[in-house]
Every structure is written in structure tokens, then in C-alpha cells.
Chains A and B, each alone.
Chain A
Amino acid sequence: MEQTDDAELLRRYAESNSEAAFTELVRRHLNLVYRSALRQSRGNTHLAEDVTQAVFTQLARRAGSLCRHPRLVGWLYTTTHFVASGLLRTERRRQRREQEAHVIQDEGPLPASADGWEEVGPVLDQVMRGLGRVDREAILLHFFERRTFAEVGARLDLREDAARMRVARALEKLRTALARHGIRSTTAALGLMLATESSVAAPAGLVTSTTAAAVTAAGTVTPATSLILLMSTSKLALGLVALLAILAAGSAFHYQRQLQAAGTSLTVWDQRMTAAQSRLAAFRQTPSSAPVATAPKPDQRAGAPGASPAPTGDDIAKELELQRLQDLNSAASFILKTGGFLRSLGLTPVQIQQLEDSLLKELSGLDDLEVVNRLAGTELKSDPGLPAITQKLTTEMMKDAGAIMGPANLQALISYLQNQNIPADPNGPNRLQLGEASYVATQVAGLVFASATPLTTEQRAQMVQLIASNTPRYQPGDNNGMDTVNWEGVLAQGGSTLPPAQLNALRSLQASVAQDTLEKQVREAATKAAP
């Protein structure tokens, strides 16, 4: 049963500090806690993430006693409420101060997830707290944790039919309570709304960050003293002295680890504090360094979906030319990315050039299809003709490439490219983050190549990781420009390790990005204001 599993997982964590067990617990209950925190913080995602982290930190700290708790879901829900209330009070005080200073900004609205949810969301948790414990748990388990009636019954010690009735009655009570707040709905609609709301997933990566923070923050102490107290009889004294000495050594080792864990946790918070402080200081000194909100990249192409439905001959010619330029760009990027590796395989510049031509041939083979789809506002990937054309072009290119560089080298290149596309750490920066970081590192390398400390290959790899860890977790289509990099974080973390020339190059790039951003913002604002 799931309950037993939860208890078992908590026990495993409490007894052997099993991080895997705790990760599984976080994964199971993250949505319940995060969505509840998000509702109570009125859509403030940063606050909701803080609350989530704090709740799981408490869970980790109290794992020893909570593994005997019969209603972990209820405990998580109630704790989320208390933690969110505390943080919200602080937030409101801060907002009052802001409003007094005439800085008026609305919190972002609660993300819309279902019809009518904007109305129900803000009062739902208040009404839920008014329900009886069993009714509340029935709703939490069935709608928020998406358990079947059989599973709900097992948790509440009811048969499946009885669990179904209990959920229905609890939903009816919830509907009646909401009606008292002026929110009218049918039971069926309310059930659908709850199910839809709870299906909205917490942000990707939150499981990992929450687990890491909670486990690090919770330094659980296993008492060794009880064992020592048992060993006080004189008859066994000789053996006991030896045993005690061993225990003392073991105990010291154990405590050393506990202290280290607590120390590491402090260091982590210290680093985060330092980064936050340096960002704050940077703001106060130069407001121009204000980070630009990450926004989806606008489709700059004429003829993109939503543009004129009837392309002219000029439109098509322009699109084909743009596509050709994009192919040239892609082929050049390929050579820049793989040039060093190809040379290490012993390929001559002529062979590399032939390889690029072969790639261009394949890319241009898809141009017509891509342009037709773009002008029609459809997706290339869903074109029925795509698989056959791609297969034909790929086969031809592989044949050409094999003839140019030999089959063994071709295989080596394929392996190299496959490794390039897979981030080393699945929980670390993704491919888009690494790509942007690599671009920034290239710019830095170009600014220090003639200095006393040019960027070496190892330093470049380290810098890519440093920058990537200070970028948002981009998704395809996001704005992933240099204006989205957390420069203060990069400079704060790199300040102690990078040579002065490289650090200055980073600062200089940051300022140049701020200049570009300012020009862009002024252009946009002035264009809007133009008659």
C-alpha cells in the first residue's frame, strides 16, 4: 500500500539517510504541496517554491517521528498552509512598505488552468480547512493526489464503495461551503475543476532542487548514547572498554559527517545569500543592470503563422533566400562546433570543406518543404512528406561523408555529436543553457586571446558550466539571449577563481549587454509611442 510505502520511505530516510527514498517522497507529493502553496501565495511562483522547499525541509527534519504518522498527506497539506501563511505575512508587510514608497506593482495573476478556477482558487484552501479531517483527506487523496477509490479506501480504512461515497459527500460539502462564499457550481463541474487544477505539474527541476535543499538542510542526528548507557556493568568491563573505544571512533566519524552536512548546508545558503546580496547591490548602484524578463522569442519571419494568408511570389523568394542563409549559418556552426574534433581525426581542410558542402546539400534539400510549410502556417515536422525526404537526404549525406572521411572516422564523428547533444548531468543545465553559455564563453575567449591569460580549453569548459548554471532553464522557443544571463551570479561565483583579464572581459560583456538592452527597450517604447 502507498501509505506503507510512504512510511517505509520516511523510515529509510530517517534511519539510513537514503536520499533516493526522500526523492521518491518529494516526487509523489510535490504537486500537492506546490499547487497548494501557489494558490495560497496568489500565483507568486517564487514564494510557492520557497514554501515547498520549507515544507519538505520540515519533513526531512521530522522524518523520524513522521514515519509513524498515519496521515502524511494531511500533515503535508496543513504544514503547507502554516508555512505559506508565515511567508505571506512577511510578503504583505513588504508590499505595504513598497506601496508607501509609491512602487505599485501587482502580483502576477494566478495562472489560469481551468474555467472558473480564478474564482475558486483563492478561497479553496480556506474552505478546505473548514471540512472535517476525513472529508478533507478524501478530497486531497482523490483529486489532488489522483488516487483511485480503492487507494483512498485503503488509506482511510474504508471499502472501495464506501470511499466513493465519502469522496462524493466531501465534494458536496465543499460545493456547499463554496456557495457560502458566493461561488456557485455543480458538484460535477467542481470535481472536474479540481481534477484539472491538480493535473497542472509543478515546474520541472523542482523535485531535484527541493530534495537537495531539504536533505542538506535537515541534519538528522541518530542518538548513539543509548547504546553507551547499556554498557555499564563491571563484569564485562574489559570487553566493553574495547567496544566503547570502537564506538567512540564510530561515533566521532558519524558526528563529523553530521557536522559536515550542517556546514555544507550553511555554505550553500551563504552562497545563495552572497549572490542575492550582490544582485541587490548591483541594482541599487546601476538600475540599468535590471534583468530583462525572459520572454518567448517572437517569430521574426514574414509568412509565419498568423501572417498574411496569401503569400506573394516575393514572399516565397524572400523565404527561400532566408532559408538558404539559415542553412549556410547551420553548416558554418557545424564546422565551428566540430572543426577541432575533425582535425584531431586527421582530416585536411579540403575534406572539412567537402563535409560542409555535403551537409549544405542535405539542408537545402529540405528548404522547399520547409518554406511551403512556413508560408502555409503548418509545422514541417508534421508534413507527411518529411520522413521519406529526410531518409533519402540522410542516406545520401552519410554516403558522401563516408566517402570523404572513411567509415571509421564517420562513426567517430557520429559518437562525438551524440555526446555533444547530451548534457553530462541530466539534472544540470540543459542543451539550450549549455549552448548559450558556450556562446558567451566564445565571446570572452575572443576578448582575452592576446592577454597574458587566454582562455584554455579546460577554463572554457569550466566557464561554460559556470555561465550555464546562471541561466534560466530555457525551453525551446524561449528568449535565450545574453540578456537572460544572471551576470551578478557569474561574477560572484567566478570572482575568486578567474584571472583578472577574464573577469574583466565578463564585466565588459555584461555592460555591453546592458547597453544593447537599453537601446532595444528605448526603441520598442518609442516605436509604440510613435504616431
Chain B
Amino acid sequence: MKLRLILFWSAVAVTVGLLAFDLSVRVRIQRLQSAETALLTRYTTLNRELQAETRKAAAQHQLSVAQATARLAASSPGGAAGAESSGGRPTVDVARVIALSPELRSQYLQAIRSGAAARWPLLFQVLNLPPGENEKFGDLMAQRIANNLQVDEIATERGLDPSDPAMKKLAGQLNRQNENAIAALLGPDTYATFQQYSRENGVAPVLQDFAGNLPGAPLALDQAEQLSHVMAAASQIDKYGYATYGTIDIDQVMNRAVGILTPDQLPTLAAVLQKNRAYVQSTKLAPPP
């Protein structure tokens, strides 16, 4: 009898315990579901706001472009689109339009500052500056573009062409200041390296593509450095001494690359160079609209 009583009360206790557990879990699930409904509502609102911001940014952007284009058209006889033409289409002086709109200029310079490492892919890796200096260096590289935009703006305000001697003089002064600041930041040896890779930056996108396509046989930095010199030497050089993008002599590079790369890496280099040449030539034949 006593045993039965114990068993009975044990069963009651377990049942009550389970009921309490059931209740507590239901409450927790209910709370989670309420939290989820609240999140869903907030997410929907956020999404609406995001769409609104997208449209607002697009409208603002269009307005800025229209204003700057009108300003440039008003100040130059040829209008915003210059007299030069490429493939039968007028060439637009994009930089001058951007220079004339504070909003566009600010966005543009911000993009250049943040994207400097992608614009000078090998230079940044070769210099390998510590984070603080790297940022300062990126700012100075963006400053070079900012200087050009500033000269464009002043020229437009004064009704002059950017190639006017007075404007060229101003551009020269600003560029010298920038060069001095970079030299001060880097020190003489690194500054010489910077100058060399700046001149070779026209071949850097091909090198970046090559390095990115070598996951199984990675490119070492010294290989990349030698290849950069070889590619630059096999490219057309502009009047300022800079290697021109898309002008690499493939045979010359491949002959010299044999002494730099491993046999496994060579077919990839040949394919990257061939792809780049096909791309550049087809762009010349059928320029994008």
C-alpha cells in the first residue's frame, strides 16, 4: 500500500513537472515568435527605406550630372561633349564634368581613395606599407586626381582650356607639391620604387589577372616584380615614360618569362596575355557605347 502511494505521488510529481516544462517552453516559443514578427515588420520597413534611399540617391546623382554638364556646356563652345570623336561618337570630358559638381567630385574622390589598392594593384603590394602609412599614401594618390579636377574647375571658371599655359603651370605646381609629400612619406629608396611601379602601372591589371588565375601555383612577389619590368619593357611607352595599357608584345614577354616563371605557370600567362590582347583589340574595333 505504501509503495503504491509512493508510486502514485511520484507519477503526480512527474506529471506536474512535465506540465510546468511544457508551459515554460510554450511561453518561450511564443516570445520568440513575437520577436520574429517584430523583426519582420522592422525588416519590411527597413527595406522600404532602402528602396527610397536608392531612388533618392539616383535622383540626386542625375541632378548633379545634369547641372555639371550644363555648366560645362555653358562655359565651352564645344559643349560638354568635345569636338574630338572616337568611332563616330563625341568624346565626353568626364573628368571636367565631375570637376564641376561638388557632389560628384566628392563621391569620385572618395571612391578613388577607398579603391587605391585596386587601381595600383602591384604598387601597394610591393610597397607593403604599415596600415597608417598605407592610408596616408592612398590619400596622396587620390590627391593627384583631386589636383587635376581642381585645375579643370578653375579652367572652366576662367573660361580657359586646361591645356592653357597658366593652367599647366598651376597643375605643375600642385603635382610637385604632391610628389614632395609622397617622397617625404616614403623616404628616398621607397620613393624610387614607387616611381618605377607608377610608370609600370599600365601592365598591373594583366599581372593582377595572372596572379589571380594561379591558385594552384601561386606567384611569388619577386616573380611578379620581374614580370612587371619585363611586361613594361615590352609595352609602348607614352611621352611621360609610362607603360601604356594593352600594348604588350606577347612573344617578347613569353620569351623572357621562361627565365622567371615555372613551366606550370607559363600556359596561364600565355592565356592571360592572349585574353587581354583580344579584349583590348575588340574594344578598339567596337567601343562600348
Contacts and interface: CB of A to CB of B under 8 A. Distances in A.
Interface of A: 46, 50, 54, 87, 90-91, 94, 98, 103, 105, 217, 219, 221, 223-225, 228-229, 231-232, 234, 237-238, 240-241, 244-245, 247-248, 251-252, 255, 258-259, 262-263, 265-266, 269-270, 272-273, 276-277, 279-280, 283-284, 286-288, 290-291, 298, 300-302, 318, 321-322, 325-326, 328-329, 331-333, 335-336, 339-340, 343-344, 348-349, 352-353, 356, 441-451, 454-457, 460, 504-505, 507-515, 518-519, 521-523, 525-527, 529-531
B56 A265 contact: no
A231 B48 CA distance: 53
Contact of A511 (B104, B115, B128, B220): B115
A449 B97 contact: no
Interface of A is mostly: helix
A511 B94 contact: no
17 contacts: A91-B48, A105-B55, A219-B29, A228-B18, A276-B50, A287-B57, A287-B61, A322-B285, A329-B279, A336-B272, A340-B216, A343-B264, A352-B267, A457-B215, A505-B117, A526-B65, A531-B73
B94 A522 contact: yes
B171 interface: no
Given A525-B65, A526-B94, 15 more contacts: A50-B47, A217-B40, A248-B17, A251-B22, A255-B22, A258-B25, A287-B57, A290-B61, A301-B286, A329-B275, A445-B211, A448-B125, A512-B115, A523-B92, A529-B73
Contacts of B216: 340, 343-344, 457
B11 A336 contact: no
Contact of A325 (B25, B94, B278): B278
B257 to A, nearest CB: 12
Contact of A280 (B29, B35, B40, B53): B53
B4 to A, nearest CB: 6
For the residues of B in contact with A, the DSSP-based class is: helix
Interface stretch (B105-113, B160-168, B194-202): B105-113
B129 interface: no
Interface in B266-289: 266-268, 270-272, 274-275, 277-279, 281-282, 285-286, 288-289
B275 A269 contact: no
Interface of B: 4-5, 7-8, 10-12, 14-15, 17-19, 21-22, 25-26, 28-29, 32-33, 35-36, 39-40, 42-62, 65-66, 68-70, 72-73, 79-81, 89-90, 92, 94, 97-98, 104, 107-108, 110-119, 121, 125-126, 128, 207-216, 218-221, 224, 263-264, 266-268, 270-272, 274-275, 277-279, 281-282, 285-286, 288-289
Interface-centre pick from B8, B12, B210 (highest chain A CB count, 10 A): B8
A325 B285 contact: yes
Given A91-B48, A328-B277, A353-B267, A526 B81 contact: yes
Nearest to B44: A50
Contact of B212 (A318, A322, A328, A442): A442
A405 to B, nearest CB: 14
Going nearest first, the 3 A-B pairs with the smallest beta carbon separation are A511-B115, A530-B81, A446-B212
B275 A336 contact: yes
A352 to B, nearest CB: 5
B189 to A, nearest CB: 18
A10 B119 CA distance: 56
Contacts of B59: 103, 105
B207 A241 contact: no
Contacts of B22: 223-225, 228, 251, 255
Given A46-B51, A234-B11, A352-B267, A449 B218 contact: yes
Contacts of A444: 212
Contact of B25 (A259, A318, A356, A507): A259
Contacts of B61: 287-288, 290, 521
A523 B210 CA distance: 30
Contacts of B268: 335-336, 339
A449 B89 contact: no
B213 A336 contact: yes
A251 B209 CA distance: 57
Nearest to B145: A515
Most chain B CB atoms below 10 A, which of A255, A298, A326, A348: A255
A254 B212 CA distance: 49
Contacts of B209: 442-443, 446
A105 to B, nearest CB: 4
A237 B7 contact: yes
Given A339-B271, A529-B66, A449 B212 contact: yes
Given A221-B26, A318-B285, A508-B116, A447 B121 contact: yes
